[in-house]
Amino acid sequence: MSFAATVSIVRKHGHCGTRIKTRKRNITAPLDPSAFADAVVQIYLDNAGDLELVARSIESSDLNFSRYGDTFFEVVFTGGRTQPGTIKPDEGERHPYSVLDCEPKREAILPSVLYIQKILRRRPFLIKNLENVMRRFLQSLELFEEDGRQKLAIFTALTFSQKLSGLPPETVVQPLLKDNLVAKGLVLSFITDFFKQYLIENSLDDLILLLKRAKMEDNLLDFFPTAKRSTEGFSEHFTKEGLLALVEYNEKKMFEVKLKEMKSALTTQIAEETDISEVIETVKQQVKDAKLPDIEVVRILWDVLMDAVQWSGKNQQQNANAALRQVKTWAKLLNAFCTNGKLELELMYKVQIQCYEDAKLMKLFPEIIRSLYDLDVLAEDTILHWFRKGANPKGRQTFVKALEPFVNWLEEAEEED
């Protein structure tokens, strides 16, 4: 073999007869968001803002959306690029068909939401970029004019109303809670517009579910400036704005929170066997502070007292003794709040329901009622009223029969008197 032929073979296969691999260099295109933005703007201009046609052109384009997703949504919202970290326009081409160029009305902004929805179906990865841009704009609410904030509120409500796939509410709502935005009342104004717009097509239950997902359901007062941050302030504001269902929901929720707090404090005091007079004072103070209805107080007292009993798994006699001992120990507490026939009757209903629902107490009903009578918690008239006209049907026939001997005794004693 000639020398030239040998060299040729070595060049081809290397010294060991293997092909030499050439490493390819990764050639990355330089970042050029301005050229991308100009190209998207041009698509808007070429189609005179017809979002149907714009969507089609974007779908067929080979623009690098995975790299410039944030820039794309800046163009959608503002008509062009924005300067990094702000909402101020950057250099470059702009178009007049953006979300912020629309009228602050649902019907004007809805086409933009449906257009974005169409884009996201083809490029679902862009949801993260939408989230980024929305979060940045919401954190910069003070930089928008009032009608700009209103447009953002309408847009945000519509994105959730249209169930824009994958947009997480907490990453949109949480950024609003910047202290300076809240203090200026901008967040309250925004969230009010948002609630109003969202409730046009959705129920209050839908809104509550959305707030739960945003981890805001229990913190609605956080949207209010400090001076207005109270249940009364909440009710006054949203009543004035015509959102009465939301006001009722919040009042009910606050009421439940106060009941829970009272129950918790009472449970601790009962467990620690605090002096009865001190427990009575604590309950009275909580009733006054929370404006709790007397009827709810009676219900809670009975629940807490019975929850504190150490029940036996099998021994019925032990259970009977434990229940009656608890009634006797805390009779003064019950007496302090069962101050009229209506409240005494409510207590009887509570005893009735518990004895009906708890098998181990089923046979205890007449003994508990007798004990409450002996301890001056229940009056004779209340017991007779329950016996003759009691309204709660749970186990009523059984309990009426069980209580009959005691009622007969009461009636005979009444006749003797």
Q: What is the pLDDT of residue 165?
A: 64
**Under DSSP, is residue 93 helix (H, G, I), strand (E, B) or coil?**
coil
Q: What is the pLDDT of residue 11?
A: 43
Q: What is the pLDDT of residue 91?
A: 80
User: pLDDT tens digits for 244-301?
Assistant: 999 999 999 888 888 999 999 999 999 999 999 999 999 999 898 888 899 999 999 9
Question: Are 173 and 214 in contact, with CB atoms under 8 Å apart?
Answer: yes
* Residues in CB range of 99: below 8 A, 6 or more apart: 76, 77, 78, 109, 112, 151, 155
The residue-averaged pLDDT of 9-16 equals 43
The residue-averaged pLDDT of 213-221 equals 89
Contacts by 62-65, CB closer than 8 A, 24 or more apart: 63/36, 63/39, 64/29, 64/36, 65/123, 65/125, 65/126
What is the percentage of the chain residues whose pLDDT exceeds 90? 69
Q: What is the pLDDT of residue 12?
A: 45
The residue-averaged pLDDT of 101-119 equals 94
Supply the DSSP symbol for 379: -
Q: What angle do CA 143, 144, 150 make, to 5 degrees?
A: 145
> Given a cut of 50, is residue 415 above it in pLDDT?
yes
Q: How far is CA 345 from the centre of its chain?
A: 36
Quickly state the pLDDT bin for 15 (edges 50, 70, 90): very low
Question: Quick one: tokens of 107?
Answer: 């019907």
Q: What is the pLDDT of residue 182?
A: 94
Task: Please state, in angstroms and rounded to a whole number, the distance separating the CA atoms of residues 329 and 333.
Answer: 9
Neighbours of 242 (CB within 10 A): 11
pTM for this model (two decimals): 0.73
Nearest of 62, 83, 60, 59 to residue 71 by alpha carbon = 83
Question: Are 49 and 42 in contact, with CB atoms under 8 Å apart?
Answer: no
Task: Please state, in angstroms and rounded to a whole number, the distance separating the CA atoms of residues 322 and 305.
Answer: 11
Residue type, 105: K
Q: What is the pLDDT of residue 31?
A: 60
Average pLDDT, the chain: 88
Question: Are 295 and 343 in contact, with CB atoms under 8 Å apart?
Answer: yes
The residue-averaged pLDDT of 4-17 equals 44
Q: What is the pLDDT of residue 24?
A: 42
**Cα Rg of the chain, angstroms:** 36
> Given a cut of 90, is residue 218 above it in pLDDT?
no
Q: What is the pLDDT of residue 204?
A: 95
Of residues 59 and 316, more confidence is placed in 59
> Given a cut of 50, is residue 226 above it in pLDDT?
yes
In order of 53, 262, 281, the CA distances from 285 in angstroms are 67, 10, 6
User: pLDDT tens digits for 382-408?
Assistant: 999 999 998 889 999 999 999 999 999
> Given a cut of 50, is residue 18 above it in pLDDT?
no
Neighbours of 352 (CB within 10 A): 23
* Residues in CB range of 361: below 8 A, 6 or more apart: 319, 323, 354, 355, 368
Q: What is the pLDDT of residue 349?
A: 96
Task: Please state, in angstroms and rounded to a whole number, the distance separating the CA atoms of residues 237 and 220.
Answer: 12
> Given a cut of 60, is residue 10 above it in pLDDT?
no
Phi then psi for residue 283, to 5 deg, are: -65, -45
Task: Please state, in angstroms and rounded to a whole number, the distance separating the CA atoms of residues 95 and 209.
Answer: 37
Look at the block and give the residue holding tokens 């009827």.
295
The residue-averaged pLDDT of 19-39 equals 62
> Which range among 108-122, 163-177, 353-367 shows the weakest confidence by mean pLDDT?
163-177
Supply the DSSP symbol for 279: H
Residues in the chain, overall count: 417
Nearest of 100, 200, 187 to residue 158 by alpha carbon = 200
Q: What is the pLDDT of residue 78?
A: 93
Question: Quick one: tokens of 72?
Answer: 């794309």
> Which range among 156-165, 298-307, 364-373 shows the weakest confidence by mean pLDDT?
156-165
Task: Please state, in angstroms and rounded to a whole number, the distance separating the CA atoms of residues 320 and 362.
Answer: 10
